[in-house]
Chain A
């Protein structure tokens, strides 16, 4: 089954009502075709939303006892010993933000503030960009060889000591992810909203920064179920909707 045939059947497949004789072929195709798999995942998320639409009903009290008794009669659950194939891929992407934090690469570190002596601080925007690329490099490498990444510095429009950096990871097989770090922002103007936009006026929210560290820094990451290839600008706005930081993403250099 080729891609158009699979795409034609994906809605039914997603809703659980595909013809049985099509299913094996669809699954085989999805096993190797990353583009169709991504499409399938997008539709599956939409379908998962539907489950919550009906009004919740209050179950009878004894139902819980019946369920517990049924589970006790059943065999014990197998131990969780191994990550599945898809889980491994997702974890690899989701952990980007976590890896930054676990590695101690907080907002300031990414921007070169906390892990470099003053004399080594990048002085120009190009040098800062290079520094951001370098600090994100190991993170990009951890996301897999086929992953594309773009990095950009976020700068203010005026002469204020605010700054930021953004990393976008575009995965051919999994979800895309945005990680944004900011530094030096005044608490009084928060909360801050982050969005990533394409060249056609479409914006995808990345998150809301409600807490800043003592140096006005924060990090926000989000896994986004859409292709972010065309999304090249990151905008941070304050509580009043005014832009405080903005920046354009450039492809990161090869990680090899």
Chain B
């Protein structure tokens, strides 16, 4: 994910180090009852990456909300990371091309809805609606997973 967001191996390695430092400092907030460690670390990584991305591009820092948030399943084996990727790809496959493009811009490039609307010359309301519908589709895709 670091490579995807930041674009260079060096930046991704720095990000990885920062993720583990942040996790170390915030370890008391991790609750294994509420989700896997891998998901928690990924969430920290996304927050830090978006933070860096926007700082590097001179845009004011967005609020990063996910560090303390709850992943969706109980902690388990690390093989779940692979399962998670499969599920993530399946969830993305449920999106329309327009929704995929918006999610990529927001999640993987850190663009706000307003920035996306201006870049694509589409109404802000449309961007927000599509982001919302995309997240709901992803959520529904997750719900269709067969629990173990």
Contacts A51-B43, A53-B85, A90-B33 hold; do A60 and B143 have CB atoms under 8 A apart?
no
> Does B70 interact with chain A (Cβ within 8 Å)?
yes
Instruction: List chain A residues, Cβ under 8 A from B61.
Output: 20
Instruction: List chain A residues, Cβ under 8 A from B13.
Output: 59-60, 63, 66
CB <8 Å contact, A77 and B70: no
> Does A28 interact with chain B (Cβ within 8 Å)?
no
CB closest residue in chain A, given B67: A16
Contacts A15-B106, A59-B13 hold; do A48 and B21 have CB atoms under 8 A apart?
no
> Does B146 interact with chain A (Cβ within 8 Å)?
yes
CB closest residue in chain B, given A93: B33
Question: Of B21, B63, B68, which contacts A13 at CB under 8 A?
Answer: B63
**Could you say which of A17, A55, A66 has the most chain B C-beta atoms within 10 Å of its C-beta?**
A17
CB <8 Å contact, A84 and B29: yes
Question: Of B25, B63, B88, which contacts A74 at CB under 8 A?
Answer: B25
> Does B81 interact with chain A (Cβ within 8 Å)?
yes
Report A43-78 CB contacts with B as 1/0, cut-off 8 Å: 111111111111111011001001100110011011
Report B35-78 CB contacts with A as 1/0, cut-off 8 Å: 00001001101110010000000001111111011111010000
Question: What is the number of residues of chain B that contact chain A, defined by CB distance less than 8 Å?
Answer: 69
Contacts A74-B24, A208-B146 hold; do A45 and B70 have CB atoms under 8 A apart?
yes
Instruction: List chain B residues, Cβ under 8 A from A251.
Output: none
CB <8 Å contact, B47 and A16: yes
Instruction: List chain A residues, Cβ under 8 A from B12.
Output: 57
CB <8 Å contact, A56 and B147: no
Instruction: List chain A residues, Cβ under 8 A from B24.
Output: 71, 74, 77
CB closest residue in chain A, given B35: A48
Shortest C-beta distance, B104 to chain A (Å), equals 9
CB <8 Å contact, A12 and B106: yes
Question: Of A10, A41, A50, A91, which contacts B103 at CB under 8 A?
Answer: A50
Shortest C-beta distance, B8 to chain A (Å), equals 12
CB <8 Å contact, B66 and A45: no
CB <8 Å contact, A41 and B147: no
Q: Which of A163-171, A182-190, A199-207 contacts B (4 or more CB under 8 A)?
A: A199-207
**Could you say which of B65, B142, B145, B148 has the most chain A C-beta atoms within 10 Å of its C-beta?**
B65
Question: Of A20, A67, A77, which contacts B25 at CB under 8 A?
Answer: A77
CB <8 Å contact, A49 and B34: no
Shortest C-beta distance, B61 to chain A (Å), equals 7
Shortest C-beta distance, A195 to chain B (Å), equals 10
> Does A222 interact with chain B (Cβ within 8 Å)?
yes
Contacts A12-B112, A87-B34, A222-B147 hold; do A49 and B142 have CB atoms under 8 A apart?
yes
CB closest residue in chain B, given A88: B31
Question: Of B3, B70, B72, B139, which contacts A86 at CB under 8 A?
Answer: B70
> Does B89 interact with chain A (Cβ within 8 Å)?
yes
Contacts A17-B50, A20-B60, A51-B42 hold; do A226 and B81 have CB atoms under 8 A apart?
no
CB closest residue in chain A, given B133: A11
CB <8 Å contact, B71 and A45: yes
Report B65-101 CB contacts with A as 1/0, cut-off 8 Å: 1101111101000000100110111011000000000
> Does A146 interact with chain B (Cβ within 8 Å)?
no
> What CA separation (Å) do A77 and B20 show in the bound complex?
12
CB closest residue in chain A, given B113: A12
Shortest C-beta distance, A84 to chain B (Å), equals 7
CB <8 Å contact, B88 and A52: yes
Report A127-149 CB contacts with B as 1/0, cut-off 8 Å: 00000000000000000000000
Q: Would you list 12 pairs from A and B whose C-beta atoms are within 8 A, ordered by A residue?
A: A16-B63, A16-B66, A17-B112, A18-B62, A18-B112, A44-B69, A46-B142, A49-B91, A77-B25, A83-B31, A90-B33, A224-B143
